Amino acid sequence: MGVRAELSDEHVSKHPSAACFASSTQADLTSGGFKLVGSAQVWKDDALLQQGSLPLDDRAAEFFSMLRYPSEEAREEALALYREKTTPLHTFAPTASWEDVAAAFRSGFSTALQAEFVPGELSESEWELARQLVEEKYSKLEWRKERVRLV
């Protein structure tokens, strides 16, 4: 896509923001000092779960309006800090589409992991496990009580 990016050299904050995208970790991609891709990975045996976020456009004001802050002043300060540290992809690649991004990620992961990524559908057993997890675990808030702290 023509954007020069590198892994962030920042470490996980001990005081994370409600807007996690406002700070970088070693799993994130940056360009010119700005965070472009927020990323997290979990490896289990030979399986990888990649979760990430890549804003194409600046919708930060809309996003920050949905977060809880103690005051409007605190929200504005957080938004200003966010804009100092991050930028959307269209800053560097104004015509990039989601299809371009998907192709770039597929190519990058294929190269890095030395594996071909082939589109496919979930099997019936995978769908059944997903339904079971929704019903038995994820439909209840208890599973994340210790992970969530409202400000």
Q: Are 11 and 24 in contact (CB under 8 A)?
A: no
What predicted TM-score, i.e. pTM, was given to this entire model? 0.68
Please report which confidence band the pLDDT of residue 17 belongs to, taking 50, 70 and 90 as the band edges.
Answer: low
Cα–Cα distances in angstroms (integers) from residue 90 to residues 38, 63, 96, in the given order: 16, 17, 7
Q: Phi and psi at residue 146, in whole multiples of 5°?
A: -75, -15
Distance of CA 139 to the CA centre of its chain: 22
The reported pLDDT for the residue numbered 41 is 78
Told to judge if 30 belongs to the known catalytic residues of this protein, a careful annotator would answer no
Phi-psi category of 119—alpha, beta or left, where left has phi over 0 and alpha has psi -120 to 50? beta
- Residue carrying structure tokens 């103690």: 70
Distance (Å, whole) CA 64 – CA 147: 21
> Which residue out of 6, 12, 13, 20 is catalytically annotated?
20
Please report which confidence band the pLDDT of residue 5 belongs to, taking 50, 70 and 90 as the band edges.
Answer: confident
Cα–Cα distances in angstroms (integers) from residue 31 to residues 1, 37, 68, 91, in the given order: 13, 9, 29, 10
The reported pLDDT for the residue numbered 126 is 96
Domain boundary assignment for the chain: 6-121
